[in-house]
Amino acid sequence: MSEKFEVIVIGGGPGGYVAAIRAAQLGLKTACIDNYTGKDGKPSPGGTCLNVGCIPSKALLDSSKHFHHLQHEYGAHGISVKEAAIDVPQMIARKDGVVKKLTGGVSQLLKGNKVSFYHGKGRLGVDRSVQVTPADGGDVVSLQGDNIILASGSVPIEIPGVAFDGEFIVDNVGALDFDHVPETLGVIGAGVIGLELGSVWNRLGSKVILLEALPDFLALADKDISKQAAREFKKQGMDIRLGTMVKSASVENGKVNVTVEDAKGKGTHTFDRLLVSVGRKPYTDGLLGDDCGVRLTDSGQIEVNDQSQTSVAGVWAVGDCVRGPMLAHKASEEGIAVAELIAGKPAHIHFDTVPWVVYTDPEIAWVGKTEQELQAADVEYRTGSFPFAANGRALAGGHAAGMVKMLADTESDEILGVHIFGANASELISECVVAMEFQGSSEDLARIIHAHPTLSEAIHEAALHLDGRAIHRGN
């Protein structure tokens, strides 16, 4: 006999566990299946995000930022230490502790909301039946759902000729767990992971070289922002080689030899460690039974419509395994929306206002369109900007680098995009997301009182500048 549920969620990452909690809150009998096992051998729900993604990377970014500031920035404040040292195993243990706390918290939340948790691999069969193969090797369990939510996430893309070995040639998992600071670190792909994890080890003393295939740096970001960011990261010692294709990599005598091709021809690099961060792909291995009827797209994503319904009635999919940006908050919002749709409530996701953040120092954050996208779409727009170098709080805190750039429709003045490169950009962008969600205009932001002295005044000034009336810069 199969146990019956109104909702069965396969995958316990930010898409899956959030969907399960919301479904349970709405009074639906819910199960969540996740196969992730923590370093302690115990279930560790939270997916990539909590275990080997968003959270551990931010823990290491924060640790390495303290170390870097101690060495390079505190002097200006009159603070000195005789000798700064980094204890890598302690830093990694702290990161693991943060992960443990949060994944344990997810287990508690699932329990508290009366979600039945299964630690194992879920496989969807016909008519919304699900088989769970327990992670501890126990007997297969059969479940039956009125609704199934697939939230199986993503895995790193491997490039031909550059095989992961988990020690010298690694993905995000390996680069979050180095036991010492590599003298030299090669990074293939100067995207989000490359920049964040490259920053961690660069701050701790590695010589970091990023090998990026595209001729443009951070092609998704607005060009004014990516240009400033490239300059700043170079100053920090990150060596970003654009237009560089990696051909192969091999390990010899504890070193990684990498062959590349760029405009000048073929070349080689030798590194102590190599991080491959060239994007992620949807993970559906073992998830879909042969006759379950769920279709995949040509690029391997689970095919869904704009309400996250798959090709099978009652089967939904959210997060990294479907179309759209691979971001934790996007996955969670989709999970909530699906749970609400199942419960018969209205729900909708505005993909146009999903914020992006790159947690470098300074941070990069944006919402909406870039100037290049508006030009390509022939949209008439006006631009306003404000440098943090003219913001009192930024100067007081020693964060003068970067700017806010705002784009608004020429006729209606509706905000079409905001791009920030600067300290706390990850927090500052929320105000702009709210403004855009309410279809706000630059005039709205210009008229809203911003506390002084705060970094958010740079957003206020960018809005004023858009109308030629900034106070603290020339117009």
Q: What DSSP designation does 360 have?
A: S
Show which residues are catalytic: 452
Distance, in Å, from the CA atom of 204 to the CA atom of 185, rounded to the nearest integer, reads: 11
| Residue 280 Cβ vs ligand FAD, minimum distance, rounded to whole Å | 7
Which range of residues in 51-59, 297-305, 388-396, 462-470 is near ligand FAD by CB under 6 A?
A: 51-59
Tokens, residue 123: 């496989």
Q: Does residue 188 bind ligand NAD (CB under 6 A)?
A: yes
Distance CA(243)–CA(261), nearest Å, equals: 8
Beta strands in 1-128 (DSSP E): 3-10, 30-34, 116-124
User: Could you give the CA distance from residue 388 to residue 458 in angstroms, rounded to a whole number?
Assistant: 7
> Cis link prior to 362 (omega < 30° from 0)?
yes
Number of residues assigned to the chain: 475
One-letter amino acid identity for 359? Y
Q: What span, in angstroms and rounded, lies between the C-alpha atoms of 330 and 352? A: 11
Report the residue number, 132 or 192, with the smaller CB distance to ligand NAD. 192
> According to CB under 6 A, which one of 61, 192, 258, 318 is a site residue for ligand NAD?
192
Out of 325, 350, 377, 469, point to the residue binding ligand NAD (CB under 6 A).
325
Selection from ligand NAD, ligand FAD, none that 340 binds (CB < 5 to 8 A by kind) is none
Site string (149-178) toward ligand NAD, x via CB under 6 A = ----------x-------------------
Q: Write the DSSP symbol of residue 241.
A: E
Q: Which is nearer to ligand FAD, 320 or 340 (CB)?
A: 320
Measured in whole angstroms, the distance separating CA 385 from the mean position of its chain's CA atoms is 26
Q: Which two tokens stand for residue 386?
A: 């404000």
- Of the pair 120, 402, the CB lying nearest ligand NAD is at 402
Q: How far is the CB of 357 from ligand NAD (least distance, A)?
A: 5
Find the part of the chain contacting ligand FAD (CB under 6 A) among 32-40, 71-79, 436-444, 451-459. Answer: 32-40
Token output for 304:
């869904």
Binders of ligand NAD among residues 390 to 419 (CB under 6 A) are none
Q: Name the nearest CA neighbour of 421 among 183, 174, 230.
A: 230
Q: Which of 278, 315, 317, 336 binds ligand NAD (CB under 6 A)?
A: 278
Residue 331 binding: pick among ligand NAD, ligand FAD, none (C-beta 5-8 Å cut-off by kind): ligand FAD
206-220: b or e for each residue (b if 16 or more CB lie within 10 Å)?
bbbbbbbbeeebbee
- Is the Cβ–Cβ distance between 422 and 457 less than 8 Å? no
Contact segment (CB under 6 A) with ligand FAD among 28-36, 201-209, 309-317, 402-410 equals 28-36
- Where on the chain is the footprint of ligand FAD (CB under 6 A)? 10-16, 33-36, 47-49, 53-54, 57, 121-122, 151-154, 172, 193, 283, 286-287, 319-320, 326-329, 331, 359
Binding site for ligand NAD (CB under 6 A): 159, 188-194, 196, 211-214, 245-246, 277-280, 325-327, 357-359
